[in-house]
Structure 1
Amino acid sequence: MDRHEPAVTQWPPGSRAPHNLPAPLTSLVGRQPELDQIAALLARDRLVTLVGAAGIGKTRLGVHSAAAALDDHPDGAWFVDLSLVTQPHLVTHAVASALGVRERSGETLLQTVDTFVAGKVLLLVLDNCEHLTHACAELVCRLQRATSDLHVLATSRKELGVVGEVAWVVPPLAPPAGESPEEVASNDAARLFVARAGEDLEVTGVIAASIARICRRLDGIPLAIELAAGRVGELTPQEIETNLEHRFHLLTTDREDVSERQRSFHATLEWSHDLLSEPERVLLRRLATFAGPFTVNEADRVCSLDRVGGDGVAGVVARLARMSLLARRAGGDHVRYRMHESVRHFALEKLEAAGEHGEVRRGHARWCIAMAERADSDPAGQEQAECMVELADARSELRGALAWTVDHEPVLALALAGSLTRFWVACGELDEGRTWLERALAAGGDASGARAKALWGSGLVSCLLGDFGAVGPALGEGMALARGAGDGAVLARLLNLVGVTRIFTDPPGALEVLAETIVLSRRHDETTTLVSALAMQGFARALCGDLDAAAESLQECLEDGSGFGDSQPLVMGLVGMGHVRLHQGDTAGARTCLDEGLAMARRVHNPIWVALALGYQADLEAAFGSHHRARRLASEAVEVARLTGALPVIGLCLAMAGNVELAAGNPASSLPLFDEALQRVTGERGGVRSRALVGRGRALVDLGDPEAALALLQEAVALAEDVRNRIAAAAALHELGRCAARLGDHGSALERYRAS
């Protein structure tokens, strides 16, 4: 046998076993846990394949792991670079060359290699196997049959598929959780950036924050981080971060010591793309439409491939995951997949080049609309909660679909934004909802039904944000469109919203509109609107002073909503009934309803009604002297209300918190709460403002300043009488009487008391 000694380096220092492992040109940053795990696998298993995405660091980990294992392999560790091998039959030649083996006369080269490894304890490192997996698998099986002491460490973007193979997925470097210099200094991904950027980089607060965000946006992929860091000097870290939108122009190097396909991150991804079959290429580019994780079923619905292998979308997705182009994440009822951001940028380029971008985006938008409409269509009980969770999990998809449809498909944008209104309200995401609704409406679209629904959504969100001036025009246009289109279901929603707004400004007028809403909702099976209208009818009747009629409406609301299970309208009914029972003197009934309403509001994740239920509970506890508990409930109500951004709700909870302080004998502590409540509802001419005015006036009377209180209480009386709110008027008149008594005007005081 002719054998030429392969070139043996002195790396790693102190090693006595022969090897040809390439000496690294830069230090390895971090990765000790990974090296430990790979070492344990090599000590136990004969074939270990390091599998991972492009640029994840498989080769570097493989070389360092082989170096660490030299003492366990006295016949050496031999590195075989397959990146430039293009033909399967040349794999054996590459291995023979690394081992220093030449073909002998009378036998094949494979037989010569077979004979050479027999009886030797050595480690064979096969690097970059992904384009030659079948040839590598055959060779490994042949050689490992020849000797039980041969260990193979392979690196590949997919496993070799050999019995006994242990495929170990190389993880990315975890990016920093925070952005402080201390967190950056202790994080491996950030330390890699700093190490490759050079000694002159001073990691101050602003620079540390940019480095942290760069590492996150590059998904912790070492090659991408190193290429980005290599631009320091030409660009600051802040400029590199800004330019990541055009990452493939940025993530390049002209260093001669780097292989051609690793001189740009784009070339590295192109190498992976070239290895794919046509169905795999088609699905990869179409999957880039997903901004976040997705299931196989979702991929099937959105991508609707017409060029898939016999195993369909599920099979192609599984193969893309095996090739490390998709990351697999198990958990919950479904396995979910996602693309690293850089892979997604690359795939979107391919989607655009294929001329499929518009078609796939439309399919994605229709999938989002179907999901939103399912949640908007009065699902009952657990199904409603599941729909809301599904939408919450798909936020990135919804935002992507809205952004694209606003610019390219205005009718779809209207349909999606309108159907998401209840989701935004339930989650307390009013500002985002308003932004998308305004953009969708401004984009146009001639579908009158979809536009009417979006106008309802815009009006509802504006009402909750306290922008009452914007509500009227939206409702007026929406009702005209709904009537013209004969869309009774949307018309019922619009009328219900008219009723809700009139509760603040004209409770008797609200009753007229809500009665029509109830009839229309029953006719068109708009159950959510029906139950909501009955609850609002109960509140309006209570404000008009008819507590018995209010209780009847709320009881009907609870009965009609009972089929829903947990739902927002049922929460409204329970909280409303608790409020009415409290005013009727039924403490036990009030507490039961409010407790149930709060628990359900938490279960359906509706922060607006969580805040209101807490506020009414605080009212109840304060009325019976449980001041510590009342203060705790009121504080939580204000805290939750602030998160919703709903100004009338914030104002009401602040006024309730002020009343709790008054009940506890702390008028000075109540004043800032009433002042903020009045600031929050400057545009409201109804019960919330009246309550805050009465509370502030009462506090001033308690603090010995009835003169200052008088004007506030007179304004509160005028406001309550103007909007025909009998409950608010009674409270304002009672406090005005108390104020007059403090001023010595006992005749006027008696008159006010009688009027209240």
Structure 2
Amino acid sequence: MGTSASASRPGNIPAGTTSFVGRKNDVAEVKRLLSKARLVTLTGVGGVGKTRLALHTATELRRAFPDGAWLVELADLSDPALLVHTVLEALGVRDDTGRDQVDVLADHLRERRILVILDNCEHLIEACAAAVDRLLRAAPGLRVLATSRERLGIPGEHLWQVAPLPLPDPPRPLPPGGWHGYAAMALLAERAAAVEPGFAVTDENQDLIARMCRMLAGIPLAIELAAVRVRALSLDELTTRLEDSFHLLAKGERGGLPRHQTLLAAVEWSHDLCGSAERLLWARASVFGGGFSLSAAEVVCAGDGLPAGSVLGHLTGLVDKSVLLVERDGDRTRYRLLEPLRQFGRSRLHSMGDEDVVLRRHRDYYLAQAEQCEREWFGPKQAEIFVRTKLEHANLRAALEYCLATPSELRTGLKLAATLWFYWAGCGVLGEGRHWLDRALEAVPDGGEDRLKALWVNGYVSTLQGDVARAVTLLGECRTEAGRAGDEAALAYAIHRLGCNALVGDDVGYAKDLFEDARIRYRRLGELNGNVMLAGIEMAIASIFLGELEEAAALCEEARAIGAAHGEEWAYAYAIYVLALVALNRGEFDLAAGYARNCLRLKRTFNDLLGMVLSFEVLAWIEASLRHWERAATLLGCARRIWQSVGYPMFGSKYFGAPHGDCEARTREALGDRRYAVLSQHGSEFTLEEAVAFALDEVEKAESGPVAEVETVLTEREHEVAVLITEGLSNREIADRLVISRRTAEGHVQRILRKLDFDSRAQIAAWVTQTAVRGERNGGAG
């Protein structure tokens, strides 16, 4: 279920903030390679423009990929085990199960025509090669454009060496206006004019600029670093300083500096022209993963020669020198180092002997942020915390990686992994959360408060993934060890979460006893938070299944009052979901629908798939009770799609499963098998956003589409196939045209026949023609 940059064209390719200079031939060749190869790798030295070329090419190819062009940034990722998690996150795909993540990604890509850019693969080359090889075999419509300093080395890979920008030959003088023919000079001219409006290339200075660009070997990043200096230095001064800086490195190198040394020399030259405080800030900022805020820089980078009050001024100086990029999102301003500059800064930090000190400060800052967010999660800032924590995901990864790779920091890593429970469980980051918790628990096998907390958190996460056996093992260990250690808090949480496993396992009476036990322990401890609220809400669910509606309502009203008093929304949403169940059981359908829709709206804020799918279920049951069979069938289809990503086919077969099965049976009987299948399939083909809009009646056409006009039940891809059938194409020809497998094409044709209740391809062709004629008669309206 992907997100999109716009309603009309899915994808996440960022808009360029500066013009794209040169590379016309490169773009044409990469496009040509992608037309015949499914994996194209752009190679070349750092700073040569591989990423810019990939992004520009993807922008021009968007129309060729109806399912989008997507950028996956890998520069900040150090753990190969999280590669596929990162790809899924970039594509907006949620999967809360414990399934192999490559299989999840393959299922998502299988019938899509999609372009994926894997940017900066060189430090994860083996993991990238293995994942891409599996995905290309599974998804015939997938194209991969990789950027890397070395090839992936798998079958079918085509390479394109990204060369530096063209330069004039030395020492021949350029003819008047000759600089226009060289992209390297054009780039320098444009970037220099951006910082010094009066700057221009003339017939008098073009040979000097040509010499400068030759020294920089036509490498775009090196040219951009030099261009910003025209504000402070004349061209003569700039050229002289470059020559002096490059002389020592070039000495002994036959034919001048190799290109990778040229970039290093240019970066070192730019570094040397920074003030001492700016150089210090550059080195220390290299520890951040992804972007960082001013407040983070003031804590992590300040001190030991860099006062906190001076950090903003020095950040601004590094931005002016094109060392740092500024990224703005609404009222948030963040800073980021380009990858070659980050690597340079990190090497400087290491050589200074300060790396471990700054890494600890980075870790301490994000641990403190996590602890603050954990405290504030039970309160009115939950939605803000969700956004903020997601924004700092790369930095949290970096902090966890540092801790778990450093023997003296393992316990702190365990503490951080456990503290982030609200993010793993509350914000749908289950797979990665379990990865870090598993690593941390393995690294710290002895007891302690932090380990007990990590055990129950991991048990909670495993429960949400549907791995009940693993969850019971972890929670049982926590219960035993907490009892032995006298840790009453960990014992209460372990008992509570064991109750959850009993509930989804249909052992409702035992579950209710465990919830009641946990609630007594929470009260004794004075514990009050979202988890405590959930214990009452989950006990209410058990009460409903035992026929105790009054007790269930009272428990939920208690939880709802606590949530309202504290501004808590995440657990509050589950309370009103259970109130919807109570109202449904009482036959109060309008009240039940209101509760369910409110729950869905709140859970959409947190992208909580479990809360959303439970809302879809109860809304479907309500529609069936009202004999709104078409909406019930469509909602059941929406729910079926989401359940596949949640970790359970359906909570329990007896209690949660019974009303679902009854709703499905009655709806199918009312509509007939064929009509039910069409509508249910239509619901399952909604994106998550479309499904939510349908359930909340936010998009009129989402409701009327599958009911009013039979042709609207075809997906966009099926419409494409139907048109190609009208052109007389065979299944093999359709497969070739759409870049899919023949089996996939055959599947599309069969689904079209079934949905339209046709027996032949000729009927499909006639239907397409008639639909087009009706569209023309209606004035071409869509």
**TM-score above 0.5:** yes
Match in the other structure for 2:466: 466
* Alignment map for 1:588-737 (pairs within 5 Å): 588-645=590-647, 648=650, 656=660, 659-660=663-664, 662-665=666-669
Q: What residue identity is the alignment partner of 1:510? A: A
Matches of 2:273 and 2:461, distance apart in 1: 50
Q: Is the 8 A contact 1:129 1:154 kept in 2?
A: no
Deviation, 1:259, is 6.3
Deviation, 1:308, is 1.3
Q: 1:647 to 1:441 in 2, by over 3 A?
A: farther
Q: Is the 8 A contact 2:298 2:308 kept in 1?
A: no
Matches of 1:316 and 1:41, distance apart in 2: 18
* Alignment map for 1:558-569 (pairs within 5 Å): 558-569=560-571
Deviation, 1:331, is 3.2
Q: Is the 8 A contact 1:542 1:550 kept in 2?
A: yes
Q: What residue identity is the alignment partner of 1:507? A: V
Q: Is the 8 A contact 2:418 2:450 kept in 1?
A: yes
Q: What residue identity is the alignment partner of 2:273? A: L
CA shift digits 1:475-530 (9 cap, x unpaired) = 12223444455544433322221111121332111122211222222333332122
1:28 to 164, 170, 183: 183
Q: Is the 8 A contact 2:492 2:521 kept in 1?
A: yes
Q: Which moved more, 1:472-481 or 1:308-317?
A: 308-317
Identity of aligned residues (%): 25
Q: 1:391 to 1:654 in 2, by over 3 A?
A: farther
Matches of 1:653 and 1:155, distance apart in 2: 74
Q: Is the 8 A contact 1:635 1:657 kept in 2?
A: no
Q: Is the 8 A contact 2:299 2:308 kept in 1?
A: no
CA shift digits 1:326-348 (9 cap, x unpaired) = 11223333321100111111122
Match in the other structure for 1:443: 443
Match in the other structure for 1:308: 306
Q: Which moved more, 1:430-439 or 1:315-324?
A: 315-324
Match in the other structure for 2:371: 373
Q: 1:268 to 1:552 in 2, by over 3 A?
A: same
Q: Is the 8 A contact 2:189 2:201 kept in 1?
A: no
Gaps of 5+ in 2: 1-169, 214-222, 242-248, 681-782
Match in the other structure for 1:283: 281
Matches of 1:673 and 1:628, distance apart in 2: 7
Q: Is the 8 A contact 1:327 1:340 kept in 2?
A: yes
Match in the other structure for 1:319: 317
Q: Which moved more, 1:482-491 or 1:327-336?
A: 482-491
Q: Which moved more, 1:368-377 or 1:648-657?
A: 648-657
CA shift digits 1:688-737 (9 cap, x unpaired) = xxxxxxxxxxxxxxxxxxxxxxxxxxxxxxxxxxxxxxxxxxxxxxxxxx
Tell me, what secondary structure is at the counterpart of 1:330?
A: strand
Match in the other structure for 1:397: 395
* Alignment map for 1:199-218 (pairs within 5 Å): none
2:208 to 79, 84, 88: 79
Q: Does 1:478 align with 2:613?
A: no
Match in the other structure for 1:209: none
CA shift digits 1:49-76 (9 cap, x unpaired) = xxxxxxxxxxxxxxxx615xx5xxxx77
Deviation, 1:385, is 1.3
Q: Is the 8 A contact 2:621 2:659 kept in 1?
A: no
Q: 1:272 to 1:661 in 2, by over 3 A?
A: farther
Match in the other structure for 1:330: 328
Q: Which moved more, 1:458-467 or 1:125-134?
A: 125-134
Matches of 1:556 and 1:493, distance apart in 2: 20
Matches of 1:310 and 1:414, distance apart in 2: 30
Matches of 1:654 and 1:79, distance apart in 2: 81
Deviation, 1:446, is 4.8
Q: 1:41 to 1:380 in 2, by over 3 A?
A: closer
Tell me, what secondary structure is at the counterpart of 1:335?
A: strand
Match in the other structure for 2:518: 517
Match in the other structure for 1:706: none
Matches of 1:564 and 1:403, distance apart in 2: 34
Q: Does 1:499 align with 2:654?
A: no
Matches of 1:272 and 1:469, distance apart in 2: 57
Q: Is the 8 A contact 2:325 2:335 kept in 1?
A: yes
Matches of 1:493 and 1:575, distance apart in 2: 23
Matches of 2:658 and 2:300, distance apart in 1: 46
Deviation, 1:445, is 6.1
* Alignment map for 1:413-432 (pairs within 5 Å): 413-432=413-432
CA shift digits 1:325-379 (9 cap, x unpaired) = 2112233333211001111111222222223222222222222222222232253
Q: What residue identity is the alignment partner of 1:590? A: A
CA shift digits 1:53-107 (9 cap, x unpaired) = xxxxxxxxxxxx615xx5xxxx7767379979xxxxxxxxxxxxxxxxxxxxxxx
Deviation, 1:449, is 1.3
Deviation, 1:403, is 1.8
Match in the other structure for 2:271: 273
Tell me, what secondary structure is at the counterpart of 1:365?
A: helix
Q: What residue identity is the alignment partner of 1:79? A: L
Match in the other structure for 1:102: none
CA shift digits 1:411-437 (9 cap, x unpaired) = 112111112222122232222221111
Q: Does 1:578 align with 2:580?
A: yes
Tell me, what secondary structure is at the counterpart of 2:329?
A: coil
Q: Is the 8 A contact 1:638 1:654 kept in 2?
A: no
Q: Is the 8 A contact 1:82 1:126 kept in 2?
A: no
Tell me, what secondary structure is at the counterpart of 2:326?
A: strand
Q: Does 1:355 align with 2:353?
A: yes
Q: 1:344 to 1:375 in 2, by over 3 A?
A: same
Deviation, 1:454, is 0.8
Tell me, what secondary structure is at the counterpart of 1:338?
A: strand
Deviation, 1:289, is 1.0
Q: 1:657 to 1:381 in 2, by over 3 A?
A: farther
User: Normalising by the residue count of structure 2, what TM-score does the alignment of the two structures yield?
Assistant: 0.55
Matches of 1:81 and 1:29, distance apart in 2: 8
CA shift digits 1:258-285 (9 cap, x unpaired) = 5689743222222222233433333222
Q: Does 1:344 align with 2:473?
A: no
Matches of 2:224 and 2:595, distance apart in 1: 69
Q: 1:515 to 1:302 in 2, by over 3 A?
A: same
Q: What residue identity is the alignment partner of 1:636? A: C
Q: 1:574 to 1:40 in 2, by over 3 A?
A: closer
Tell me, what secondary structure is at the counterpart of 2:381?
A: helix
Q: 1:591 to 1:320 in 2, by over 3 A?
A: same
Q: Rg larger in 1 or in 2? A: 1
Gaps of 5+ in 1: 1-7, 16-20, 49-64, 85-124, 141-151, 159-248, 675-756
CA shift digits 1:196-224 (9 cap, x unpaired) = xxxxxxxxxxxxxxxxxxxxxxxxxxxxx
Q: 1:128 to 1:285 in 2, by over 3 A?
A: closer
Q: Is the 8 A contact 2:294 2:334 kept in 1?
A: yes
Q: 1:41 to 1:443 in 2, by over 3 A?
A: closer
Q: 1:317 to 1:344 in 2, by over 3 A?
A: same
Match in the other structure for 2:457: 457
Q: 1:425 to 1:155 in 2, by over 3 A?
A: farther
Match in the other structure for 2:550: 548
Match in the other structure for 1:682: none
Q: Is the 8 A contact 2:465 2:647 kept in 1?
A: yes
Q: Is the 8 A contact 2:556 2:575 kept in 1?
A: yes
Q: 1:153 to 1:352 in 2, by over 3 A?
A: closer
Deviation, 1:557, is 1.5
CA shift digits 1:278-307 (9 cap, x unpaired) = 333332222111011111110122234211
Q: Is the 8 A contact 1:615 1:657 kept in 2?
A: no
Deviation, 1:459, is 0.6
Matches of 2:641 and 2:269, distance apart in 1: 53
